[in-house]
Structure 1
Amino acid sequence: MLRIHFTTQDLLRVRLAPGPDPLWEAVLSAHQVNVAHGPLVFGQWRSQVVSGLTREARSYLGLTPPRGYTPDFLTPAGGSTDFGEGLDTMLSTPSARFRNELELLSRRREVPRWAADLHRSTVARQRLGVAAKAFHDQALAPHWTAVRGAVEADVAARVRTLTSGGTQALLASVHPTITWHDPVLCVDTAADRDVYLEGRGLTLQPAFFCWRAPISLADPELPPVLVYPVPHGLSWLQPAGGGHRERALAALLGRTRAAALSALAYGASTSELARHIGVSAPSASEHASVLRDAGLIASRRERNSVWHTLTPLGQAVLDGGRELVAAGTPDRTASASRRVVAARWGSPAAS
């Protein structure tokens, strides 16, 4: 269990990152590449990435083991939504930190030979920069629109929670593994440790490639950040044949209603849905009502707006029915729904 201890001042200094952090996404996606059998939601992406990585990009993987310690210098404190800016900050890490964090890594696994001199070699730092950029360009850049869309949609949802419920409601909402026991935020993780904010506040960083449970920096002296997973759809990569499924979905639901279901992949209010599919607000509300009556979406009122999200059944329909069992009994249908939830969030119990 990770326990993050707040003071009154810390509650006033909770910050929600405005979008995805490319350096965090690089590290977390490298973790996914480094596992032989990872989550289904990243399966096709992983296959594409592994088959196409250059030698320079592969060298980055030596610093990002799938489990255990990963050096904090790979994800600079403060964060950034710009890869170049974050890379410059990473390469400007003080020599003492490079040395200390590589020593921690060496206790758990062999440090790549080229990286052993990062604390004293400009050439080694240049190679780190080349490796990080190569991995980013090959594994992340082609899919950045999907990554940014998912993270920004989550940020919008969290802002609504903050507006309607305040900071404590925001903290408790970011992931099912998190509970708020005033004044401690408890995160159900394998690591058992306490982090005392002591007036420094906390940055909440949603991340596309984070999986199963939130994580934080290993060094408690660095500016505190909690990185948490955002929901995923199995079809985020737009796999081959996706166009056929989209046409089939449109034939089943009608073009506008199919577009509405797709637009709700990450949740939206009625007015946002109307803008997404190019209809009036009353028309969007009518489409949402039909989808809700069919069990494909769920709706809840938040002050002066209504927020719509996919149900497990709606997600399965959107993903082409891959998570539904054929001619299922009620028990089978419930099992399929659980699998869809696991695909979107991961299973903390499996951590």
Structure 2
Amino acid sequence: MLRIHFTAEDLLDIRFADGPAPLVELELAVAMLQRHDAQRAFTRHRRSRAASAATARSLAPLTQLVPPTGTGPFFLDPLSSDLEDGLELVRSAGNGFVRSELDRICRNGLPVTPLMRSLAGEDRQAWHHLEFSMRTAHAALVESDWTQLCSGFAADLAWRGHVQREHGLRGMLAGLYPGSRWDGSTLEIAVDRQLEVRLEGGGVLLLPSAQWSGEPLCGPLPDGSLLLLYPALTPLACLAEDAPAPGADPDEPLAALLGRTRSAVLRLALIEPTTGQLAQQLGISAATASEHARALRRAGLLATVRTGRSVRHSCTQLGHRLLTASRPLTAVPAVR
């Protein structure tokens, strides 16, 4: 359980980042390549890019520093809106900070490598090699998806604003990750690790990532606030869909928010289909339909009820309001 203890001052200083951070997204991309919970098609897409000799060489030092959990050293992923500014912050990291962060990731299970020793020893060649690796990996894994990452970020902010209007700030924060809840002024986020974070008036900066599928991550920022990174509502795999799903209009706002397939799932939920009927109507597998329904359910848009051997999906009140706000409701295909 991740328990974040808020003061009244902290609750008055909850804000979102201005946009995705290039080096944060790079670290997450490196972690995602090592994870097993990424959507298969998206993982194959990323791994095909990483298969080139140059990219593979660039990833080798980064995978020594970034585990699948995404909890790499803080000096590697400064919060910046520009790649060059971010790399300058990496180059200017103090040696004491670098050493303490390398100690931390090794205590958490990463093996000590010659690269780590060289970085800690301020070896100039090692730092040049690290920067070259970061540039090459960024070009292969982040730059090509940057438009979708920005779209996912903007869509998540729009959705969180809608949730906050409906359920207030506490409801919005509890909805960032499934299973989260408030205990007084403490936000409890349902993760596997045990961590207590006590805020002292610095506030919280929220950063959604469309490519991250792991547990929320947090860490201190130089201004004294806490960075809380969490998976965006619509994953990059959905934003990168090439073909529109049947029944979905690629120009509608709802498709931009949820992705075309999930937009179609939500509209079909108006007639309370089963998982099999969703799959049949949208031309997708039952497993994929179930995954989309689960994501919408976690966002509070869908309710699922078992009836005999099947389950039926219906819109929640929030789902209905989102559909109404996006555009006037249109006819929905009949389910057979």
Q: What is the TM-score when the length of structure 2 is the normalising length?
A: 0.73
Query: 2:301: which partner in 1?
Result: none
Distance in structure 1 (CA, Å) of the matches to 2:257 and 2:98: 38
Distance in 2 (alpha carbons) for counterparts of 1:202 and 1:166: 16
1:100-249 paired onto structure 2 within 5 Å: 100-107=100-107, 108-119=109-120, 120-217=122-219, 223-230=225-232, 231-232=234-235, 234-238=237-241, 242-243=242-243, 246=244
SS of the equivalent of 1:259 reads: coil
Task: Indicate conservation of the 8 Å contact 2:75/2:97, yes or no.
Answer: yes
* Structure 2 counterpart of 1:133, one-letter code: R
AA partner of residue 65 (structure 2) = L
1:48 Cα deviation after fit: 1.7
Q: Determine the structure 1 residue equivalent to 2:283.
A: 321
Q: How many residues align?
A: 290
Q: Whole-Å Cα distance in 2 between the matches of residues 198 and 297 of structure 1?
A: 48
**Matched letter for residue 257 of structure 2:** Y
**Cα displacement string for residues 175-223 of structure 1 (whole angstroms, at most 9, x for unaligned residues):** 2232222300111111112100011111111012221421212899964
Change (3 A) 1:140 1:297: farther
Q: What are the Cα deviations for residues 24-60 of structure 1, in whole angstroms up to 9, with x where unaligned?
A: 2111111111236744363232332331324124322
Q: Specify the code of the residue in structure 2 equivalent to 1:154.
A: D
| C-alpha distance in 1 between matches for 2:277 and 2:90 | 41
- The one-letter code matched in structure 2 to 1:155 is L
Q: Distance in 1 between matches of 2:179 and 2:111?
A: 32
Q: CA deviation at 1:126?
A: 2.4
Q: Deviations over 1:270-313 (max 9, x none)?
A: xxxxxxxxxxxxxxxxxx9x997643799xxxxxxxxxxxx989
Find the aligned partners of 2:134 and 2:206 in 1 and give their Cα distance: 23
What amino acid does structure 2 have at the position aligned with 1:340? H
Match of 2:269 among 280, 292, 295: 295
Equivalent residue for 1:271? Answer: none
Instruction: Give the equivalent residue in structure 2 for 1:15.
Output: 15
| Identical residues among aligned pairs (%) | 26
The alpha carbon displacement at 1:267 in A equals 4.4
In structure 2, C-alpha distance between the alignment counterparts of 1:100 and 1:343, rounded to whole Å: 38
Match 2:249 to one of 255, 258, 270: 258
CA–CA separation in structure 2 for the residues paired with 1:69 and 1:116: 19
What do the CA deviations read for 1:134-167 (whole angstroms, capped 9, x no partner)? Answer: 1111111111111111111101222333455443
The 3-state SS of whatever aligns with 1:20 is coil
The one-letter amino acid paired with 1:197 is L
Give the alignment's TM-score, normalised by structure 1: 0.70
- For 2:47, the equivalent position in structure 1 comes to 47
The one-letter code of the counterpart of 2:250 is A
Distance 1:19 1:218, change over 3 A: closer
Q: 1:339 to 1:115 in 2, by over 3 A?
A: same
Q: Distance in 2 between matches of 1:26 and 1:184?
A: 31
Residues 193, 36 of structure 1: CA spacing in aligned structure 2 closer, same or farther, 3 A cutoff?
Answer: closer
Give 1:339's match in structure 2, choosing from 275, 279, 291. 291
CA–CA separation in structure 2 for the residues paired with 1:293 and 1:105: 45
Distance in 2 between the 1:292 and 1:148 partners? 23
Q: Distance in 1 between matches of 2:80 and 2:278?
A: 31
Root-mean-square deviation (CA), in Å?
3.7
Is the 2:207–2:227 contact (alpha carbons within 8 Å) kept by the matching residues of 1? yes
Query: Are positions 1:33 and 2:33 aligned together?
Result: yes
- The match for 2:63 is 61
SS at the partner of 1:65?
coil
CA 1:60–1:336: 2 relative to 1, 3 Å: closer
Alpha carbons 1:25, 1:208 under 8 Å: kept: no
C-alpha displacement of 1:130: 1.5
CA contact (8 A) 2:3 2:189 kept: yes
Instruction: Give 1:85's aligned residue.
Output: 85
Structure-2 change in CA distance of 1:175 and 1:291 (3 Å): closer
Structure 1 SS opposite 2:119: coil
- Looking at structure 1, the residues matched to 50 and 182 of structure 2 have their Cα atoms a distance apart, in angstroms, of 39
Q: Counterpart of 1:272?
A: none
Residues 198 and 37 of structure 1: CA distance in aligned 2, closer, same or farther (over 3 Å)? closer
Q: Map Cα deviations across residues 58-81 of structure 1 (whole Å, 9 max, x no partner).
A: 3222211114852122222xx222
| Secondary structure at 1:295 match in 2 | helix
Q: 2:220 & 2:111 partners in 1: Cα distance?
A: 19
Partner of 1:116, secondary structure, is helix
Q: What CA distance in whole angstroms lies between the structure 2 residues aligned with 1:46 and 1:339? A: 20
Gapped regions of structure 2 (runs ≥ 5) = 299-336
CA distance in 2, matches of 1:344, 1:90: 38
Matching residue's letter, 1:295: A
Aligned residues of 1:216 and 1:224 also touching (Cα < 8 A) = yes
